[in-house]
Amino acid sequence: MSDGPSPSDRAVEAGRGALFIGFAKVFFMVSGAAQKLLLGRFVGADVYGQFSVVNNAISIVNNTIVQGTIQSVSKFTAEDDSHIQKVKRAGLVVQSFVATLVGLGMLLGAPLLADSLSAPGYVGWFRLVAAIPVLYAFYSVFVGSANGQRKFRLQASFDVGFSTTKTILLLGGALLLSRMGSSPVTGAFLGFVGAALFILIVSMRKVGLPTGSERFPASKLMAYMAGVVGYTLLINLALNSDLLLLRRFAGDAVEQARADSLAGAYDAVRTLALLPYQALLVLTFVIFPLISRSTFVEDRESTRDYINQTLRYAILIGGAMAVVLAARPQVVLTLAYPKAGYAEGANALPVLAAGVLLLALMSVCGAIINASGRPRIMVMLMSVTVAVSVGTAFLIVRTAPPGASMLLASATATSIGNATGLVLALLYLRKQFGAGPPLATVVRVGAAAALAIVAARVFPSGGKLIGLMTLGVVGLVFVATLIILRELGPSDGAKLKRILGRK
C-alpha cells in the first residue's frame, strides 16, 4: 500500500470527519447537559433522581440498539459502496424483529424492572419509555448507512436536529405537566418519545428507504450485530449500572424519598463526569469506518497510524476535561447544581471523572477492535469490566452508610472496573496491531494534570466568579504545560489548519 495516503493525510481524513461529527457531538453534549442542568434547577434532588434512574435504565437499551446498529450497518456499507442499498434493507428487516421484542419486553417487564431497583413507583414510567427503543431501532439504520458512506455532515445534522428537538420537548413537557399539577417526570418522557419519533421521520426522508431488488444476507448482518450488541450492552452497563445499583442499595437502606435524593445527587456528579466520555465518542464514530476499510484491505500501516493518532488525541482531549472537573469539584458542582441536596456528591466527582475517562478511552479501543471484525474480543473485555465494577459495588457500596460515603464508594467501584478493562484493551491492541497510546504522551499528560491540580488548590476560594476563574486557570496550566513539554507543537497546529482547509 505504498501508494496510499500518508500518515498526515490519514490524520486529515479523520480530522475532517471529526470536524462535522465533533460539532454535532459537542452540541449533543451541551444540549444533553442543559437538559439535566435545567431540569435540576426547577425540581428537587428527589424528583431529579426519579427521572435520572428511569432515564439511565432506558439509556442502556437505547444506546445498545443505536451503537450496535450504527456500527453494524456502517461496517458492511463502508466495505463496498455497492452494498449501500441492500445493507440498509437488511438492517430494517433485522430491526423489525428487534424493535418488537425490545418494546414488548420493556412494556411487560416494567414491574420486574421497578422491583429490582426497590422503586415500585416507577412502573408507569418504564412502560412509557418502552416506545423509545422501538423508534431508535429504525432510526439507527439510517444513521449507520450515512456513517458507512462517510457522509459525516449528514450524520451530524441528525445529531443536532435531534438534540434540539429533545431539549425543547423534554423540558417543555416537564414544565407543562408540572404546572398542571402532574408529574414533571412523565412530561419529560412524553417529550422524549416525541423527539424520537420526529428524528426517525427526518432520517428516513434524508437517507431514503432502500431501493433496488438486491438482497444482503440478513443472517450475516445479525451475526456481526450480535457481537457488537453484546459489546455495546456491556459498555452501557458499565456506563449506567452504578446509578441503578446505588438506587437499589439506597432503596433497601432508607425511605424512598431519601433514596431518590441520593440518586439525584449521584447523577448530578455523573452528568458532569460524563462530559469527557461524550466528547471522545466523536472519535469512535470517525475511526470506525476508517479502521473497517483499512483492515478489510489489510493495510496494517494505515491501521497502526489511525490507532496511534486517535488514542493520542483521545488522551489529550479527555485528560483536559477530566482535570478541570476534578481539580475543584465543589466549585464545579455548585456552579452546575446550586440547589440544596446535590452537594453530597462533591467528593465523588474527582474519582468518577477519572473512572469515566478510563471508560471513554476503552470505548475508543472498542470501536477500533470492533471495526477490525473482532467484536467477541470486546465482549470478553467488557464482561470483565462490568463484573469487576458490579462485584466491587456489592462489596463496598452496599455496606457504605447512605450519604456522601455511599456516593464515593459507588464512584470508586466504577473506576476500579474501568481501569481493569482499559488495561486489557490496550494490551490487546499492542499485541494485535503493534499500536497504542504513545508512552511519552501519557507521561506528559500526567505531569500536566498534576501541575494543574496543584494550581487549583493554591488559587484563592470565593464566589461564582472566582470559581470560574479557578477553572480557567486549571485549563491554562494544563495546556501550557503540554506546550512546554513539547507534547503540543507546530505540527499539531499545521494539522489543524489542513483539517480546516479545503481539499
pLDDT in tens, 142-185: 999 988 887 888 888 898 999 999 999 999 999 999 899 899 99
> Measured at the alpha carbon of residue 25, what is the angle toward residues 22 and 26, in degrees to the nearest 5?
85
Q: In sequence order, what are the residues at sequence separation of 6 or more whose Cβ sits closer than 8 angstroms to the Cβ of residue 200?
A: 135, 136, 138, 139
* Residue 290: Cβ-neighbour burial (10 angstroms; 0-12, 13-18, 19+): buried
Taking Cα atoms as reference points, which of 93, 84, 95, 74 lies closest to residue 144?
74
Give the global pTM. 0.79
C-alpha dist (Å) from residue 74 to 21, 165, 248, 262: 15, 25, 37, 40
> What pLDDT does residue 4 have?
46
Is residue 261's pLDDT more than 90?
yes
The yes-or-no verdict on residue 502 having pLDDT over 60 is no
Q: Distance between CA atoms of 149 and 466, rounded to whole angstroms?
A: 47
Question: Could you tell me the three cell numbers for 119?
Answer: 422503586
User: Cα(43)–Cα(174) distance, rounded to whole angstroms?
Assistant: 10
Q: For residues 407 and 89, give the distance between their C-alpha atoms in angstroms, rounded to a whole number.
A: 46
Task: Enumerate the domain spans of the chain.
Answer: 7-437
Condensed to tens digits (0 to 9), the pLDDT of residues 388-427 reads 999 999 999 999 999 999 999 999 999 999 999 999 999 9
CB 333 within 8 A of CB 202: no
Q: What per-residue confidence (pLDDT) applies to 76? A: 87
Q: Under a CB-based contact definition with an 8 Å cutoff, are residues 149 and 157 in contact?
A: no
Residue the block writes with cell 421484542: 101
195 CB-side CA count, 13 A? 23
Round to whole Å and give the CA distance between 247 and 43: 18
**pLDDT at residue 488, rounded to an integer:** 81
In contact, 311 and 364? CB cutoff 8 Å: yes
For 86, half-sphere exposure in the C-beta direction (CA atoms, 13 angstrom radius) is 16
